[in-house]
Structure 1
């Protein structure tokens, strides 16, 4: 269902303004700190896009994605699926304890005959994520926290892993110049890489800490930008459990993250909490309950989503060229040790 003359950005702007009226007061209007209303709206629009992509995108079996059925490849991907599921199970349990029942994290039942015949079915982007775990040791090293220990991952090995990561990112960024399917695929893959591993955010923090000679990261501050959070929401008198996933705009928050002025940080923390509550209410309350809004986003064309990604949410902005010194590697390891569970 489309409204003549209203873009997907216009629609998100409208429902965001309505939703913010239900949230704690935003002091300055238009919002400028920690980032603008427009940037907040773009972040929420992207998350809505990603939600609908995973809901409606075509899924295929591992064999179909792989293009062959050799024993070696099948066993490699089977081990990869088990490794991924191990951490998804841990995440599901942690979120369940916080009140979030994220059933998509649960494994598919392939123990029955029907399940065995169907096998695991993944979208193109999910299969890409699986192959990353299989092919790039960096991601296993981060998930297991081996990256934190120089005795397990030497500085030379660390640099080699990061060079492989940079090549992977570079190939995806090149796809952002492609057709609609390419930009949708690359945008989701780039988003998921950073959402999952936070390499760009942690590197930006590393530079900031090096410049300001800061020894330790403050976990609850950085967590506001990349963690699973519980936020008090007065109108319904209970905690809202949500994810912090505003990827474009996070680096602009680093000066606030490392400020020694607690009053400034408290103001930014309050506003970020409001932004996160607004995003939660739109995605978990407004869209599921409002058939009109749900149908509107469900029927956005691939061409319009691709246009949004090109003009409003270009993931290329997220990634930076990196120069790794021993000092920076040490700071990065410390951040990972603090922030990775």
Structure 2
């Protein structure tokens, strides 16, 4: 991932195509993967490395399937202990959820499990041929809106039946909430805690984030489900950016992959599109989606909600790729401050005065 400042400091999205994944050298398969091939009697033709991943390995497996001929599968491996298990299992369940609602919009998952001779976890799915990335705006946003509209929470609530992971970060979605504001607040509390554990204590950040979770989140999200308003819990991908969507080079249709799903407010999906570090920040994606799925009421607060949702993704970026070269943490603080200043200016001033009076370390 190329890290750039978001819209708060830059108005330009990346230019040029996303580099397509390439087939590389041979890949040694563990016996557990061979046993997991979905059709008994399949004979391995080849296994090659394919593309790259920040958190593990990826490969293309070609087999001779009885009665079907040569067929390809996609393999992902992660060897980060219990977190690796959660990542792989969560992605399997996420793909299954999407595939059940909208079969050709995501690869079909086949199996997940553990290597026989190591602590490596694997995911085996249908292989899809990557075309243009990201996917074409109109077709992609129409299909994404269709997923959101067609999906139905099994409980009628927000959440998921298990933990899913944004990259290697376990999300606070394992459970069910009637209130979207409550679930999103849990998400932000989890992320703020992980940020502090990863990047250290920053008193100004800690103070403004507390005001955000205590005041701003209820103020912006509770109106979605009050005064006769309601929102539908929608199945969201959870981490849509340039390299998690593409045109299928065979079918010519957009598809999505590498998800960390849960049932959420549909607008949450576009929080990741606000940052100009991603091509999906381009106007044609955001406006295209709005045409297929109009903003929730109160519509005039769409941009405020989008800024609020962007905090979750930018903070995840700061945690997953820590260090002084990543500008996301200061950007999150600035954007938190903007929201606090708009909706709770007196509380923010009081907070800032208190911080200014504290002894300097």
TM over 0.5: no
**TM-score normalised by structure 2 residue count:** 0.30
Structure (1/2) with the larger strand percentage: 2
Point out the structure with the larger helix share: 1
